[in-house]
Amino acid sequence: MNKPIIYLLCTGNSCRSQMAEGLGKEVLGDKWDVYSAGIEAHGVNPKAIEMMDEIGIDIRNQESSVIDPSILNQSSLVITLCGDAKENCPVIPAEVETAHWGLTDPAKAEGTADEVNQVFREVRDEIKRRIENVKSSKASSE
């Protein structure tokens, strides 16, 4: 049996969606296939790698990629993580469940190193909480 696919979309597939992919793989385990992509591919943000390392999740080998229509069309759940992705995402088939999380872009955080790190941590932790909610809501519907 094919596993359901969760597709996490953002503008550049560098921060939010990369952290979400790493967290999705960790939290959802082998029950889901987890992918991320962007409207554009900007490479994985080094700060996202650092903040994920803090919680023991290595995203160094993840790739920054643009939205793949074949993955999009096979997805069970497509989540946009920013307004740009929501507005500019290719047409999602009607049978695919969608959600929009609208998270702050940590790559745009300003201030001291500690302040920037805090923004990354807050976004990372919010993504984790929401993915855990996806897991529990999908488990209860099975």
In sequence order, what are the residues at sequence separation of 6 or more whose Cβ sits closer than 8 angstroms to the Cβ of residue 125? none
**Given the residues 5, 8, 9, 10, the one annotated as active site:** 10
Q: Is 22 in contact with 59 (CB distance < 8 Å)?
A: yes
**Given the residues 20, 89, 119, 127, the one annotated as active site:** 89
Q: Is 77 in contact with 97 (CB distance < 8 Å)?
A: yes
Does 82 participate in catalysis according to the annotation? yes
Does 10 participate in catalysis according to the annotation? yes
**Given the residues 37, 39, 48, 82, the one annotated as active site:** 82
Q: What are phi and psi of 37, to 5 degrees?
A: -160, 170
Would you name the residues annotated as active-site residues? 10, 82, 89
